[in-house]
Amino acid sequence: MAVSTLASAPAKVSPSTASKWFGAAPFIIVHLLSFGALWTGVNTIDVVVCIGLYYLRMFAVTAGYHRYFSHRTYKTSRAFQFFMAFLAQTSSQKGALWWAAHHRHHHKYSDQPEDIHSPVQSGFWYSHVGWLFDDTAETDYSKIKDLARYPELVWLNKYWMVPPILLGFTVWAFLGWSGLWIGFMLSTTLLWHGTFTINSLSHVFGKRVYETTDDSRNSMILALITCGEGWHNNHHYYQASTRQGFRWWQIDMSYYALKMLSWVGIVWDLREPPQKVLDGTWRPSKAKAETAEDELAAAA
């Protein structure tokens, strides 16, 4: 696998930015609370729940936050749309509209100076986690007008802490303190960093198959960690596809789950990469698309 260097990437650290790290206190506390298991011990069920919640919520992040809300690569009902937003927000990665707005911005300026979490521009730690606490708390509703017309999503985005609090309380109610520390806190911590590897590593680690205007790469390792998001060069080449593992051997668990949901009519119109995309002969328009609809229009 090819690995690009980050040695020349400037670190985005300044007195004003450093002062905003106080906002990271809840994030740091969740990490530390996992060590509560040193006093309570760990049961087998705690570990099972930890792994289960990691992959269930990783599916919600990748299939919900990313492939649906950010890129609209498939369709579903209004009820399941809300359910996916709620489930994704149990990951405590802020609201679905906040997530989508920032991700669309990332695609529009990928690896350019305006990119809010490019490791090429800002280095590993800033792209991995630092950007979250650098004056990025607001939701830019101008980038998500298609989603902001749903008042229930706007409400959920505003009160984004409700889903993770409810999930944490539920785990504690059934499994006690050890379940809370391992089943919820540790699972959430691992989920955060699993998700963040796509920002910090998938633009510097892996193989480039398609020519893109950024440094996106494919990695089997990251795909396994993130239920298919590691096929990042595929995705940046053609973001309108629900399936990000373009080849049969490119494991994409989120796509497989969505495909099964389509068999029973819960989701539909899952978009596949056209043959010219698979062949590498497709060329995106110069104006970068923010959603699948934009990209499909450009390809028409």
Task: Write down the pLDDT at residue 24.
Answer: 86
For residue 4, is it within any domain? no
Tokens 């979250």 belong to residue: 132
For residue 20, is it within any domain? no
**Total domain count, the chain:** 1
Task: Write down the pLDDT at residue 286.
Answer: 57
pLDDT at 275 over 90: yes
- As a whole number, the mean pLDDT across the chain is 91
pLDDT tens figures, 199-226: 999 999 999 999 999 999 999 999 999 9
pLDDT at 299 over 60: no
For residue 84, is it within any domain? yes
pLDDT at 9 over 70: no
pLDDT tens figures, 52-65: 999 999 999 999 99
For residue 7, is it within any domain? no
For residue 237, is it within any domain? yes
For residue 207, is it within any domain? yes
Q: Which residue blocks in the chain are alpha helix, DSSP H?
A: 15-19, 25-33, 37-40, 44-59, 78-89, 96-108, 119-122, 124-128, 145-148, 151-158, 162-178, 187-200, 220-225, 232-237, 253-263, 275-279, 292-299
Task: Write down the pLDDT at residue 300.
Answer: 36
Task: Write down the pLDDT at residue 21.
Answer: 59
pLDDT at 284 over 90: no
* Rounded-to-integer distance, Cα 144 and Cα 130, Å: 24
Domain that holds residue 264: 25-299
Task: Write down the pLDDT at residue 283.
Answer: 84
For residue 192, is it within any domain? yes
For residue 152, is it within any domain? yes
